[in-house]
Structure 1
Amino acid sequence: MYKLFLTLLVCLLCTTGFAQDAIVYSPDKQLMLSVGVTNGKPLYSVTYRGKPMLENSPLGLLTNEGDFSTGMKFLGKADSSIDKSYTQDRIKTSQIHYVANRLTLHLENAKQKKISIVFQVSNNDIAFRYEMPAWNETLACVVEKETTGFRFPAASTTFLSTMMDPMAGWKRTTPSYENPYVADAPMHKANRAKEGYIFPGLFRIDNNGWVLISETGVSSLYCASHLSEISADGVYFIEYPSPKHNNGFGSSGAAISLPGVTPWRTITVGNNLKPIVETTIPFDVVEPLYLPSQKYKYGRGTWSWIVWQDNSMNYDDQVKFIDLAASLKYEYILVDALWDANLGKERLHELVKYAQSKGVDVLLWYNSNGAFNDAPQGPRNKMNTSVERKKEMKWLREIGVKGLKVDFWGGDKQETMRLYEDVLSDANDYGLMIFFHGTTLPRGWERMYPNFVGSEAVMASEMLVFLQSVRESEAYNASMHPFIRNTVGSMEFGGTFLNKYLVKSNRERNERLTTDAFQLATAILFQNPIQMFALTPDNLTGAPSFEIDFMKQVPTTWNETVFIDGYPGRFCVIARRSNDRWYIAGVNAIKEPVKLKVDLPMLAGKKVKLYNDNKSKVTYLKEIEIPKNGSCEIEMQPAGGMVITQ
């Protein structure tokens, strides 16, 4: 009877396509990934502390050399572990110890072509990618599509930002990752996102916890991707760029040399938001692609354009902002768009010399090119070809410019990823730092490219100047960024306004609706190694002196980041350490005061400075002492904030 039972069981398993499972745990055993093949389809699932986070989610690739999503056969697996430590000077923490268990799953398709899927599972993080060998004499492949998907439990809610329509918006400059995030939305929505959703995406898994989805390791060797709209059966798929990106130029897939790999897909999991805010997975699984040509200097900068706009692109106004930077002891001034027409190269050289005489270095704006947008601002067509780019960068090095802001990128195709990398690599040869605007999300680039110093890829400060609706939602958006956009990559926001009105006259229109304490807090909450602050010369006399003193001392690089409290779209409190000095910053996005009891063990028993708002929303500074147990009560006013620092 027992033998008959076994025979029937084997027959049943064979006819139902029984999954041949492999399981890998995180080092602390709390996070489990299960993967196998069912009815010829690779599937995986994720649990955290025994609770489901992702269920029966598909894996696979479609290539011009074969289908690796169906008809798959399980060949075997290999287990190993990773233990590495590294330092990184441009992210939320400087010393990282990455420990993970590694599972390599070996599969074969119906045509007996092999492929591997590599999973690395650390405490709270999963990274996985596809690895393709050379198939006999086949040494090149085009990956046309992925069937990688994410199936969340049915009660989950989303914190997502829609991918912008290609070749739309102002002067056909989209997509530029500048749509806002929507908090706690249902997965199935009445208004579907036809272009899908950008990375990263945050999901609340009922009462079980949180999941952050993103990707890292995208270079010139692949396209960037995003999340599709949810399918009828509840799956978000990896989706490659729309064919309309880059004005329709270039493939939407990825051409790779074999053996080759895809970028890493990342999943960060926690029963609270602490692992989401503190994750370093975008950097843990990538390595530098080249060495820095010199030691790059980070810091603070002024820029006239954000408040004084295009009319400030003249020599006299730029001198005023150089003098402002010198007064604040800032390292940089950004000379923005139109300098080529309004100043010219000779006058710009004079401006650079003047700035250097004041101890200030110059960063310059460039249009990425004119082939996939209609933005008229110059300099144009200096960054898009190797010959012009190297001539321009040689001149920039000769006159002492230290870095470039390159704006108006056309999409996520591999063609564009090559241009990003070419600009970064060439700039390093000439000792130039690079940050991008009108751009895609950085995907591990702080570690991969040593002269990369941040990207916009967010509805940033300029939209506060242009739109009343964005000013009204400023606190809401700010409370999102540390949990989503800024947790996976540096975010060049360009904020901290101390003007009451966001115009040169500082009166009558474009009223700022957040408090000064809120603005000071965002200087800490928003992480980027070079921060262009929106201060203006009249702030030196018009703003309270204690606020200017704070802005003179605020750092832009961090040794440690700790989540304190918050909920995206409502409020946020995080702590950052620069050397031995802690800064605790918070903002409130709801319409009532937020009263919190927070634990600050790093400041226990110490006297500290508190920047906060009274009930009239006037910002004040006072000294307080944190109790010896580290527990502290704080209150933040609506559209207000607070900073505690040593």
Structure 2
Amino acid sequence: MRKFFISIFMASSVLCWADDVRVSSPDGNLVVTVSDAGGRLVYSATLGNKQMLAPSALGLQTSLGDLTKELTIYESQASTINSSYQMRGTKASSNTYNANTLLLKVRNKDGVKFRMQFQVSNNDIAFRYLMTRQTIKRREYKRVRILSELSSFNFADGTTTFISPQIGPETGWEQTKPSYEEEYSNDAPMNKASQYGHGYIFPALFHLPNGWALVSETGVSGGYCGSHLSDYQVGSGFTVTYPDKGENNGFGTEFAAIPLPGETPWRTITLGETLKPIVETTISYDVVEPRYNASTNYKPGRYTWSWLLWQDNSVNYDDQVKFIDLASTMGFEYCLVDNWWDTQIGRDRIEELSRYAQSKGVNLLLWYNSNGFWNDAPQTPRNCMNTAIAREREMKWLQSIGVKGIKVDFFGGDKQQTMQLYEDILTDANRYGLQVVFHGCTMPRGWERMYPNFVASEAVLASENLFFGEGATIREGFDLTLHPFCRNATASMDWGGIIMNKYMSRDNKSRHTRKTTDIFELASGITMQTSVQCVAMQPNNLNELPQFEMDYLRQLPTTWSETRFIDGYPGKYVVLARKATNGHWYIAGLNAQKEPINLSINLSDFESNLSKVLIDNKKGQPVQTALKTDKTGKVKVTIQPNGGLVIY
């Protein structure tokens, strides 16, 4: 077999008809090989000379022709990327991206051309397809429909999964799904059929026989559809799959349509022999660019939220005053007023409530239904976010009364038309200085960098389920020790609450109990990442919590300049270090197991501001102690079952 190695240290353009083309990471440890042998385009990857990704398919089905077979690589070009950028709202606000790139020009037997672009950084692979204008049989084509994608991820036998099933359209409560709110597997075999027969959502975490892989996509804008993964197929693995035709109430296309020249979103793979590269990856943001400038200096912070435990009846003027006062007492920046505020409080009194909040040093966030027609969710306000005219009127009013953000709920799937709605809401909101949180929605795909007023999305089986049923409280430990390795590793996540009530009720005496300790909940405010974090305290907590817990919550940061993985295993336990943008380090740990875990944590790499330890005693009761390390800078700790750890 003829082979050709492309220099990755300087830009080059080479005409070739090579079976294999390779590009490696800057440190040379990660190598991607692309082949056109037999007319099929496939790629594979090794890390440290160990195969991590078996030969996996590439290709597209398009309105211009079949770009999956009888293909030839006829030209290749290599270069390097060295860039740096800043963001406010992710796990690493200041990033440097160094990668080697490979651009392949490919054509099929009919002369239809496309390009494959690979960018390989240390531990990360990103690739996408580029389509150019071209003349085929004397006709110039200026647009194309991408009907399906053959891109696949083929892992070795013995690989296990931490993945969540995609659910079918117009399912769930009031036909509001799919909304990325299904349970994740726990070291399940790859060949286990998906629960609903629709494959799996991004991100997807795989435990390989010799390491780990995190698969996702990024850079999805209003110009393309969102994707997910198929069920596993022996020999080919998991394949990129486009939305179900029934999503968005059947309106819109299940494929993508783009002008030429144009490109697909990036498919990303993070590979590691350990979990450290998985947790610390920034590839979701490295390969995208801002789509507009921020209209104002958006403020991170914490918010109170009555609805989580007090539910719909709490959306009245007097109860919202209680949560505004709570936010003010704690020094939190925001209070979220949830659904039905337009009917249960009224617009005139919302203006009054906003003025009251501002007098207390707090700003309101308001909830909206995204509808439209794509599901039957009855909550109001409705028909305020689904058209440009409605958004213009509503957002101008929100700005005039001092509201600083919106939470928009209940979307219709991943079609290109729905992605355009997300982008339109974000773009319009930016004109009026509004931050945006999405719920009942898809996973964000690089949006923190692409849209500077985007905060986070739910896109997870979130905290509200702790109220709805005891099963979710039992599962909370698993969920919150899993997401730092997958869902929250790729994008900000609005879990919706550091919950301090012992009981899932307004009176804190009835219904089922929270199964995690106070310190677990406090630590989750660090292990969960979003720039506007929900602290789901209740007014009664002001008289119930120890003073040191209150002091901690009052100073809890929400924006980070750096994240480091210390220890853990998905669904069992996690220990992270985050450096706040104010320069202070925080170490947080969660234990979801039935037994205590004993850890020795090396703190010598962190600045000396660390002085306090929050931890549970053997009875699960919260205690604060002074930090004491040994001569080597290590501290020994025991994290109790469903317990936590904070060092700050």
TM over 0.5: yes
Amino acid at match of 1:312: S
Deviation by residue 1:163-201 (Cα, 9 ceiling, x = unmatched): 122111111110111112112111111566511111000
Amino acid at match of 1:80: S
- How many residue pairs get aligned? The number is 629
Pairing 1:336-415 to 2, within 5 Å after superposition? 336-415=338-417
Q: Which residue of 2 aligns with 1:288?
A: 290
| SS of corresponding position for 1:311 | helix
Pairing 1:26-425 to 2, within 5 Å after superposition? 26-136=25-135, 137-189=140-192, 193-206=196-209, 208-425=210-427
Deviation by residue 1:464-513 (Cα, 9 ceiling, x = unmatched): 11111111111011100100000100001111111100110101212111
Pairing 1:501-540 to 2, within 5 Å after superposition? 501-540=503-542
Q: Which residue of 2 aligns with 1:583?
A: 586
State how far apart, in whole Å, the 2-side matches of 1:409 and 1:572 are: 32
State how far apart, in whole Å, the 1-side matches of 2:504 and 2:81 are: 50
Task: Provide structure 1 residue ranges, at least 5 long, that are not aligned to the other structure.
Answer: 1-8, 11-17
Deviation by residue 1:427-447 (Cα, 9 ceiling, x = unmatched): 111111111000100000000
Tell me: CA distance 1:492–1:56, structure 2 relative to 1, closer, same or farther (3 Å): same
Deviation by residue 1:5-45 (Cα, 9 ceiling, x = unmatched): xxxx89xxxxxxx9711000100000000001021110000
Amino acid at match of 2:67: F
| SS of corresponding position for 2:507 | coil
Q: What is the Cα deviation at residue 242 of structure 1?
A: 0.6
Q: Which residue of 2 aligns with 1:6?
A: none
State how far apart, in whole Å, the 2-side matches of 1:28 and 1:297 are: 37
Percent of aligned pairs sharing the same letter: 52
Q: Which residue of 2 aligns with 1:461?
A: 463
Q: Which residue of 2 aligns with 1:476?
A: 478
Do the aligned residues in 1 keep the contact of 2:103 with 2:117 (CA within 8 Å)?
Answer: yes
Match 1:601 to one of 600, 604, 607 = 604
State how far apart, in whole Å, the 2-side matches of 1:29 and 1:183 are: 32
Amino acid at match of 1:25: S
State how far apart, in whole Å, the 2-side matches of 1:216 and 1:501 are: 39
| SS of corresponding position for 1:538 | helix
Do the aligned residues in 2 keep the contact of 1:460 with 1:494 (CA within 8 Å)?
Answer: yes
Deviation by residue 1:257-301 (Cα, 9 ceiling, x = unmatched): 001000000010111000000000000000000111111111011
Deviation by residue 1:526-584 (Cα, 9 ceiling, x = unmatched): 00000121101110101111111111110010111100000001100001111221111
State how far apart, in whole Å, the 1-side matches of 2:337 and 2:610 are: 40
State how far apart, in whole Å, the 2-side matches of 1:305 and 1:417 are: 28
| SS of corresponding position for 1:509 | coil
Tell me: CA distance 1:430–1:604, structure 2 relative to 1, closer, same or farther (3 Å): closer
State how far apart, in whole Å, the 2-side matches of 1:333 and 1:221 are: 34
Q: What is the Cα deviation at residue 306 of structure 1?
A: 0.7
Q: What is the Cα deviation at residue 230 of structure 1?
A: 0.6
Do the aligned residues in 1 keep the contact of 2:152 with 2:236 (CA within 8 Å)?
Answer: no
Q: Which residue of 2 aligns with 1:624?
A: 627
State how far apart, in whole Å, the 1-side matches of 2:545 and 2:502 are: 10
Do the aligned residues in 2 keep the contact of 1:166 with 1:411 (CA within 8 Å)?
Answer: yes
Q: Which residue of 2 aligns with 1:14?
A: none
| SS of corresponding position for 1:384 | coil
Do the aligned residues in 2 keep the contact of 1:598 with 1:633 (CA within 8 Å)?
Answer: yes
Deviation by residue 1:353-409 (Cα, 9 ceiling, x = unmatched): 000000100100000013111111100011001111111111111111111000001
Q: Which residue of 2 aligns with 1:4?
A: none
Q: What is the Cα deviation at residue 585 of structure 1?
A: 0.5
Tell me: CA distance 1:524–1:83, structure 2 relative to 1, closer, same or farther (3 Å): same
State how far apart, in whole Å, the 2-side matches of 1:472 and 1:151 are: 34
Do the aligned residues in 2 keep the contact of 1:603 with 1:630 (CA within 8 Å)?
Answer: no
Q: What is the Cα deviation at residue 605 of structure 1?
A: 6.8
Q: Which residue of 2 aligns with 1:13?
A: none
Q: Which residue of 2 aligns with 1:638?
A: 641
State how far apart, in whole Å, the 1-side matches of 2:79 and 2:631 are: 44
Task: Provide structure 2 residue ranges, at least 5 long, that are not aligned to the other structure.
Answer: 3-16
Amino acid at match of 2:119: Q
Q: Which residue of 2 aligns with 1:565?
A: 567
Do the aligned residues in 2 keep the contact of 1:218 with 1:443 (CA within 8 Å)?
Answer: yes
Do the aligned residues in 2 keep the contact of 1:605 with 1:630 (CA within 8 Å)?
Answer: no
Amino acid at match of 2:577: A
Q: What is the Cα deviation at residue 234 of structure 1?
A: 4.2
Q: Which residue of 1 aligns with 2:618?
A: 615
